[in-house]
Amino acid sequence: MFRSLRHQLLGIWLLMALACAGLAILLYGLSRQAESIQIARATQRVHQACQLIGKRYAGTSAAARATPVSGGLEDVVLQLVLEDFDGIEGGVWHRQQGITAYAYPTYQGSSIKTDVPAAERPTIDAVAQRAADTHALADYSRTSDREVLLLAACPFDGDASAWTMTRVPTAGAAFYRRLLLGLSGLLVILVLSAAVMGDVLRRWDRKLAAVEQALSSADPHGAPDLPVTGSQELDRLGNAIRRYAQRSIDARAEAEKLGRELARHERLADLGRMVATVAHEIRNPIATMRLTVENALGDAGATGHDGLDVLLAQIQRLDGVVEGLLTMVQPIKLHRRDVALSTWLQASVRHAKPMLAPHAVDLHLPDANISIWHFDPKYMERVLDNLLRNAAEHALPGTAIVVTTRTSADMLRIDVSNHGPPVPAQVREHLFEPFASGRERGNGLGLALVREIVLAHQGDVAYEHADGATHFIVSLPWRAS
């Protein structure tokens, strides 16, 4: 197989030329064969008409045949027979009288033809006499540039003969001239096709060279600047190359981004393992210090009470940090079940209220037809508890915390909002990461834990600030796959 486009197109051109040549030869042969078949069929019809005239005449009564020739029996027989043979004329020839009857009922002229063709009269006499002498069918044909004359004669009655004659048009010189003109036209078309194809190949070579040059000199880290060739196919290929190069660039950028993200996660994983180890190591000393301070508070009475309270608060805060770190590094194992949504929300808010004072909680329960949802109630209570604490810590004095639930398709959305300033921009970028907090004493573990639990439910958590209110919106699917 040819691998070059030029050779492929040249091969197609040669096949076209051979096909045209073969078609011309086939058409010529078919035209000749069609003419031969037409002449053979006309000869058979002339013979059949001639013999039928004799049979019809012989089938008449003896009394009718005994009438004088001028009685018209021969004319009647000729008329009846030749009406069924389109384009055939005929007559009756007698040795003494010559042609005594003639008919051409299917003549295409303007009037009935009654005269015997003078040009063929000698030929008719000769063929009819031969049939009368031999008492057998005699025929004759003559070919000219325009037609083939077919003549047949058969024994009639005594020294008489019936004769029939027709003309078959032939192509002649005019046909050959048309055929030669047609073949010349085919040759001109082939020559023009070859010229056009050669020009197309030349231009394709030039355009392909330009594209190849652009690709070879293109920046390997950027999309190639391919020239517009004006050829739809090449330009489509160039656009496809540019799109592929752009996708490759985007894929490399995404791979680099994912690589950096993976490295960051690996560092966080190492940090998590280290934090888990440290948290376990300091948890017991913290518990010992807490127990000691609590015992000291029980024994001290009023003296030194304030200092011990401050120390106990700091120990509790440190214990909360350790607890949060341990929760972050431990895998989340969900136990999902169908939960009565309104009951769960009311109970979760009621448990969190002591930690939210002095802020009130305005709870908007879901519609009655949204009574059941599928999630882990224990982990989701921690999510709601952390969001409520976060809202209480950032809410303006005298304002309430609002919890709103709504659904869209198969997604539950829990919106915890408070009136207060927005999260600073530098903190917003890392809002759900550990240790990212806008408060002086905050550690950011609460929101980080919220995100991990929600992601484990195949949901999402988002932050918004609008009309002076901060919103944390948790989205949960009805049943995660």
Give the model confidence (pLDDT) of 193-243 as tens digits: 767 777 777 777 787 788 778 777 777 767 777 777 777 777 787 788 888
In 114-231, which ranges are continuous DSSP H helix?
A: 121-134, 172-216
Residue 393 or residue 172, greater confidence: 393
Q: Which amino acid is at 309?
A: D
Beta-bridged to residue 464, according to DSSP, are: 471
DSSP secondary structure string for all residues of 280-338: HHHHHHHHHHHHHHHHHHHHHTTTTHHHHHHHHHHHHHHHHHHHHHHHHHSPP----EE
pLDDT given at position 71: 47
Element (H or E) spanning 362, and its range?
Answer: strand 361-364
Identify which of 380, 379, 401, 381 has the alpha carbon closest to the alpha carbon of residue 390.
401
Mean pLDDT of 159-180: 74
Structural contact between residues 165 and 142, judged by C-beta atoms closer than 8 angstroms: no
List domains and CATH numbers for the chain: 22-174 (3.30.450.20), 331-477 (3.30.565.10)
Structural contact between residues 421 and 439, judged by C-beta atoms closer than 8 angstroms: no
User: CA of 191: how far to CAs of 16, 22, 185, 291, in Å?
Assistant: 12, 17, 10, 107
Give the model confidence (pLDDT) of 245-266 as tens digits: 888 888 888 888 888 878 866 7
CA atoms within 13 A on the CB side of 167: 10
Mean pLDDT of 397-419: 90
Mean pLDDT of 420-431: 84
Six-digit token string for 121:
């009269």
- Report the range out of 109-113, 181-185, 290-294 with the highest average pLDDT: 109-113
0.85 surpassed by pTM: no
Six-digit token string for 357:
């004072």
Query: 256-270, 288-302, 447-461 — which is least confidently predicted?
Result: 288-302
Counting residues of the chain whose pLDDT is more than 70, the rounded percentage is 74
Q: Which amino acid is at 54?
A: G
Query: 112-126, 338-352, 428-442 — which is least confidently predicted?
Result: 428-442
CA 357 to chain CA centroid, Å, is 63
pLDDT given at position 449: 85
pLDDT given at position 247: 85
pLDDT given at position 13: 65
Q: Which amino acid is at 268?
A: L
Q: Taking 70 as the threshold, does the pLDDT of residue 306 lie above it?
A: no
Task: Report the chain's mean pLDDT, rounded to a whole number.
Answer: 80
Give the model confidence (pLDDT) of 17-30 as tens digits: 776 676 667 556 65
Residue 466 or residue 236, greater confidence: 466
Q: Taking 70 as the threshold, does the pLDDT of residue 69 lie above it?
A: no
pLDDT given at position 396: 92
Q: Which amino acid is at 404?
A: T
How does residue 462 score in pLDDT terms, banded at 50, 70 and 90?
very high
Identify which of 452, 416, 402, 413 has the alpha carbon closest to the alpha carbon of residue 432.
452
SS3 content of the chain, % helix, strand, coil (to 5): 55, 15, 25
DSSP secondary structure string for all residues of 58-79: HTS-HHHHHS-GGG-HHHHHHH
pLDDT given at position 70: 42
Q: Which amino acid is at 191?
A: V
Mean pLDDT of 178-207: 71
Count of positions (residues) in the chain? 481
pLDDT given at position 464: 93
- Number of other residues whose CB lies within 10 A of the CB of residue 206: 10
End-to-end Cα distance, the chain: 53
Residue 233 or residue 346, greater confidence: 346
Q: Taking 80 as the threshold, does the pLDDT of residue 43 lie above it?
A: yes
